[in-house]
Amino acid sequence: MLRLPGVAKGRLGGALAVAPCCRRPPPPHPRTPAAPAVRPLVSTPAVQRSLRHSLQHARLPQRGATPVVVAVAADFAPPSPEQTRGNAVRLAVETLRPDWPLLAFTCLALVATIAFTLAFPLAIGEVFDVVRSQGGLADAPAAAVANPFSGLGAASSVPGSFRTALAKLSACLVLSASGNALVSYCSTLLGERFAHRLKGQLMETIIARPQAFFDSTPKGDLVARLTLDVQVLQATLADFIGQRGFRSMFEVTGALALIAVQQPLLALVSLAITPLLSRLLRSVVVRSSAIIYRRQQVAAEALQYASERLSQVQTVQVFAAEGREAGAFEALDSSGYRMARRYAFFQGIVEGAGRLAVNVGTMALLGFGGLLVIQGRISVGALLAVNVFNLFISIGLSSVAASLGELGKAVGALERVAELVVPGSSSSSSAAPGEAEAAGTSDSGAAAAPHAGGSSSAAASDAAAAGAAPAASASGRVEFEDVWFKYPGTSDWVVHGLNLTLLPGQTLALVGPSGGGKSTIAALLLGLYQPQRGRILVDGQPLPPAADGSSAAVGVGMAAVLQQPMLMAGTVAQQISYGKPGASEEEVLAAARAAHADEFVQQLPQGYGTEVGERGHALSGGQKQRLSIARALLLQSKILVLDEVTSALDVTSERCISDTLRSLTSTKLIIAHRLSTVRRADVIAVVEGGRVAETGSRAELLQLEGGMYRRLVHTADMAWVASGAGSDGSSSGSDDEGGAAGAAAGEPAAAAVAST
Ligand SMILES: Nc1ncnc2c1ncn2[C@@H]1O[C@H](COP(=O)(O)OP(=O)(O)OP(=O)(O)O)[C@@H](O)[C@H]1O
């Protein structure tokens, strides 16, 4: 048996009939690369070179040349800054909560490590004082100056107190180094787990948003929140807990406390610089979080711009717009650069002022401490220890400043994430890394597919399983009852009081001029948008709302092939089983055969295991359409929505697929510009300006004197005759020959004709 990679082996699934009309030798497949590879576009060397080039030659545009606001439609306006801040705090706490044992352990290890670190200056001071008490600070005898190694081998010459002091010093060093290693590991792990969990929540939230959200939100901004912002958070968490923030705060506090206990007078000198530094630190957090929030917005805009242009690189090159596009990207990125420069300048000032304050403190400490030693009020070892403590304090404070700068960055990033994720709304919020897979929420079978996802996939899978049997109980009646719709954020109605009924098993064809509203009607039926007035019923039940996750379509037994056949990186088998990740090999094969895709798939280098590349770039338009059709057919749904699904197919393939579709018992809503595609529909509705201009069977519509459908057919015939190809015959009522002949001659699109 043919083994399909990524597809479960299983029972023979499929009542899909393959129309027998077109058995022909499969064509070669020149477009398939010999060694298909899926690579993120932005990582190709050429792209990197071009981006690097444009960045290296960056001329900074005029101030204010680039708008930095990321557009979000009024319908999806972000929450107020206060709400966002509150959400951000709760989100951080909730995301960290599952890791509290690790967090607590890391903090304990940190405190222990700091204790060993703080013992270090005391141990140094002790070594120094022992050396002094043994006369070690006296002038060296002349013999020792002549031979510095004389007498070093005699163990008896090393005093016991000196050995003890050295042992203490070594213990401090070893324990503090081991503790540091442990804390570093734990804090990095915490950061990674936090980021993993947050990304899961973010993706789950974003992907479940209604279609209107995506219409109004730049994808680059979403990707930036998912990547750049989460990375900032992950790095900051690890840094703040393990490397600089907490550690430095503890060290500074501990060092100050130890100085205060040991040398209260010197502690006062150290403390004198604290108010100045704390003012500086506060301003770092506030200013840097504001700058970084805007900086990330601009970075997202540049990312959006670059990814869109790179995904349309053919158009850019065909219109020789490379220079223009690179310049526009440069201008966008420069805006971010200016903000980063402000941030760097601000950071530099803070850093310099902080160091100056610390150095002044050190000088004062040495001056005052030195005086105390001269007066014999403290030992040299004590002064040394206090100075090492002071070093800790100065290094610690500048680390705290830098870390708080990063924290400000993280606050900005967290706020951007919290604009999308409402704390507690995500089902994956408590899942630790790896738990989702263990719980089986990711794809099975075709699990390696890049489309693996949380609840949406699971929902699709369940629904697909439910819809997999075109059971007798399945009905498929569809009713549009006085449906009115306008796209969110727009003022004009696109669908005006639509009333249509599809009986179970019927085929309804929507035809009409481009922009008339056909695809919008299909999108409404699929639950991608909600009508503002009226309702849509499936088997007498109103469609459930789409806003709570995936569209209502699969749940009520619908499958669709959309106008743009969208494939995602993965194997051919994974494309076909996308709606039902656990589909068996037989189901995939049956669907591929029904969609007349099997022949070309068998010709691909790895058959069903061939990678189709990003967005299926390794396939032709017609091949992509056939895989999209197979994907829908595999679900064996009771309702099929097909929007221009054969527009890129040759005549023979189109007829074969039409035959397959005719043999299905599903209710079908078909949108087509080629009239030959819809000639066999039970009902044809001509949609114009968001209204059904006329409806009836093909024969009825052809008899309508002055009717629009009749005009469309007539104009199509005229155009075809004018092309010198002869009579279509479609108007003569000969479905079989006329459709094929008309299409073969490149029958003009009804929409184009209608608009002439
Ligand atoms: N996401 C959207 N936001 C705002 N307006 C939209 C959106 N999608 C479509 N429209 C508008 O709705 C109207 C109907 O578009 P629709 O795509 O439904 O027409 P159509 O009949 O399917 O066209 P075609 O035959 O060219 O595919 C058009 O005026 C279009 O500009």
DSSP calls for 628-668: HHHHHHHT--SEEEEESTTTTS-HHHHHHHHHHHHH--SEE
Which residue among 76, 487, 708 has the greatest number of ligand 1 atoms within 8 angstroms of its CB, and so is best to mutate?
487
Write the DSSP assignment of 448-499 as a string of letters.
TSTT--SHHHHHHHHHHHHHTS--TT----EEEEEEEE--TT--S-SEEEEE
Instruction: Determine whether the shortest distance from the Cβ of 211 to ligand 1 is under 6 A.
Output: no
Q: Is residue 751 within 8 Å of 512, Cβ to Cβ?
A: yes
Number of CB atoms found within 10 A of residue 53's CB: 12
**Phi then psi dihedrals of residue 440, to 5 deg:** 80, 20
Q: Which residues contact 485 (CB under 8 A, 6 or more apart)?
A: 493, 494, 495, 520, 524, 529, 531, 532, 533
Tell me: the pLDDT tens digits for 479-504? 999 999 999 888 899 999 999 999 99
CATH code of the region 81-136+160-263+378-421: 1.20.1560.10
Pocket test for ligand 1, best of 519, 671, 688 (most atoms within 8 A of CB): 519
CA 520 to centroid of ligand 1, rounded, Å? 6
For 120-132, the pLDDT digits (tens) are 888 888 887 788 7
Cα dihedral sign for 466, 469, 475, 480?
positive
User: Is the minimum distance from the CB of 562 to ligand 1 under 6 angstroms?
Assistant: no
Q: Which of 229-243, 437-451, 481-495, 647-661 has the highest mean pLDDT?
A: 481-495
Output the pLDDT for position 285: 63
On the question of pLDDT at 457 being above 60, the answer is: no
For the segment 195-214, what is each residue's pLDDT rounded down to a tens digit?
A: 998 888 888 888 878 788 88
Q: Whose CA is nearest to atom 17 of ligand 1?
A: 519
pLDDT in tens, 609-619: 988 877 777 78
Instruction: Please identify, by atom number, the ligand 1 atom nearest to the C-alpha of residue 521.
Output: 18
DSSP string, 142-185: HHHHH-TTTTTT-GGGS-HHHHHHHHHHHHHHHHHHHHHHHHHH
Output the six-digit token pair for 482: 């006085």
Q: How confident is the model at residue 322 (pLDDT cuts 50, 70, 90)?
A: confident
Cα 752 to its chain centre, rounded Å, is: 38
- The position carrying tokens 């001056």 is 367
Q: Does ligand 1 lie within 6 Å of residue 517's CB atom?
A: yes
How far is 232 from 319, CA to CA, in rounded Å? 38
CB 748 within 8 A of CB 720: yes
Cα 71 to middle of ligand 1, angstroms: 21
Ligand 1 geometric centre to CA of 605 (Å): 38
Q: Is 518 in the pocket of ligand 1 (CB under 6 A)?
A: yes
Portions of the chain given CATH number 3.40.50.300: 478-720
The structure tokens listed for 365 are 């400490």
* Alpha carbon distance 195, 96 (integer Å): 10
495 lines ligand 1 (CB under 6 A): no
Q: Are 491 and 468 in contact (CB under 8 A)?
A: no
Cα(325) to centroid of ligand 1, in Å? 27
The Cα–Cα gap between 125 and 134 comes to 14
Residue among 494, 511, 524, 755 whose CB has most ligand 1 atoms within 8 A, to mutate: 494
281-287 long-range contacts, CB within 8 A, separation 24+: 281/400, 281/401, 281/404, 283/350, 284/347, 284/350, 284/401, 284/404, 284/405, 284/408, 285/404, 285/405, 285/407, 285/408, 285/411, 286/408, 287/346, 287/408
Average pLDDT over residues 686-701: 90
Evaluate: CB of 487 within 6 angstroms of ligand 1: yes
Grade residue 148 by pLDDT with cuts at 50, 70 and 90: low
User: Which residue's C-alpha comes closest to atom 31 of ligand 1?
Assistant: 515
Tell me the CA–centroid distance for residue 634 and ligand 1, in Å.
Answer: 28
pLDDT at 746 over 50: no
pLDDT for position 273: 63
Residue 164 Cβ inside 6 Å of ligand 1? The answer reads no
Question: Which CATH code for domain 478-720?
Answer: 3.40.50.300
Residue holding tokens 């499929």?
Answer: 14
- Which whole number is the average pLDDT over 624-647? 88
Nearest ligand 1 atom to alpha carbon 563: 27
d(CA 288, CA 412): 8
**Ligand 1, atom nearest to 687 Cα:** 21
Ligand 1 neighbour 480 (Cβ under 6 A): no
Backbone angles phi, psi at 551, to 5 degrees: -65, 165
Q: Whose CA is nearest to atom 24 of ligand 1?
A: 514
Strand (E) or helix (H) holding 120: helix 100-133
- 50 Cβ below 6 A of ligand 1: no
Amino acid making up residue 220: G
Q: Mean pLDDT: which of 20-29, 45-54, 576-585, 609-618 is highest?
A: 576-585
Give nearest CA residue, ligand 1 atom 5. 487
Identify the pLDDT of residue 424. 60
Question: What pLDDT does residue 517 have?
Answer: 92
pLDDT at 328: 86
| Dihedral sign, Cα of residue 633, residue 634, residue 640, residue 642 | negative
pLDDT, residue 462, reads 35
* Phi and psi, residue 415, nearest 5°: -65, -40
Q: Which atom of ligand 1 is nearest to the CA of 512?
A: 21
461 C-alpha to ligand 1 centroid (Å): 30
- Mean pLDDT throughout 109-117? 89
350 token code pair: 């803070």
- Does the Cβ of 425 fall within 6 Å of ligand 1? no
Tokens 């601000």: give the residue: 346
Q: Which two tokens stand for residue 487?
A: 């796209």
Q: Is the CB of 210 under 6 A from ligand 1?
A: no
| CB of 749 sitting under 6 A from ligand 1 | no
Q: Does residue 305 sit in helix, strand or coil?
A: helix
**Residue 310: what pLDDT?**
81
Average pLDDT, the chain: 72
pLDDT tens digits for 11-32?
333 445 554 444 444 444 433 3
Q: For atom 28 of ligand 1, which residue has the closest CA?
A: 515
Best probe residue, ligand 1, of 211, 518, 687 (max atoms within 8 Å of C-beta): 518
Query: Which of 511, 520, 644, 647 best tests ligand 1's pocket when mutated (most atoms within 8 Å of CB)?
Result: 520
- Other CB atoms within 10 A of residue 326 CB: 19
How many A from CA of 514 to the centre of ligand 1? 8
User: Which helix H or strand E contains 696, and what residues bound it?
Assistant: strand 691-696
Q: Where in the chain is the domain with CATH 1.20.1560.10?
A: 81-136+160-263+378-421
Residue 144: predicted pLDDT? 52
Residue 473 burial (CB < 10 Å; 0-12/13-18/19+)?
Answer: exposed
CA distances from residue 698 to 602, 646, 671, 743, 746 in whole angstroms, order as listed: 38, 20, 15, 17, 21
85 confidence band (pLDDT: 50, 70, 90): confident
CA-closest residue to ligand 1 atom 8: 520
DSSP 8-state assignment for residue 217:
S
Q: Please give the Cα distance from 631 to 634 (Å, whole number).
A: 5
Ranges 6-10, 307-311, 443-447, most confident: 307-311
CA 413 to chain centre: 15
What band does 669 get if pLDDT is binned at 50, 70 and 90? very high
The fraction of the chain above a pLDDT of 70, given in percent, is 68
Q: Give the alpha-carbon dihedral of 164, 165, 167, 171, to 10 degrees.
A: 140
Q: Across residues 349-359, what is the average pLDDT?
A: 70
**Count of C-beta atoms within a 10 Å radius of residue 741:** 20
Ligand 1 centroid–CA 128 distance in Å is: 83
Residue 484 CA to ligand 1 centre (angstroms): 14
Summarised one tens digit per residue, pLDDT across range 165-183 is 888 888 888 998 898 899 9
**Is the CB–ligand 1 distance for residue 690 below 6 Å?**
no
**How far does residue 451's CA lie from ligand 1's centre (Å)?**
27
Q: Is there an atom of ligand 1 within 6 Å of 405 CB?
A: no
| 485, 493 Cβ separation under 8 angstroms | yes
Q: For ligand 1, say whether the CB of 519 is within 6 Å of any of its atoms.
A: yes
Atom of ligand 1 nearest to the CA of 673: 25
Lowest mean pLDDT among 275-279, 548-552, 731-735: 731-735
Nearest CA owner, ligand 1 atom 18? 517
In this structure, the residue with its CA closest to atom 26 of ligand 1 is 514
Quickly tell me which residue has 């590991």 as its tokens: 185
pLDDT at 257: 83
Residue nearest atom 9 of ligand 1, based on CA coordinates: 520
- Residue 538, classed as helix, strand or coil, is strand
State residue 268's pLDDT score. Answer: 73
- C-alpha torsion sign, points 247, 250, 253, 257: negative
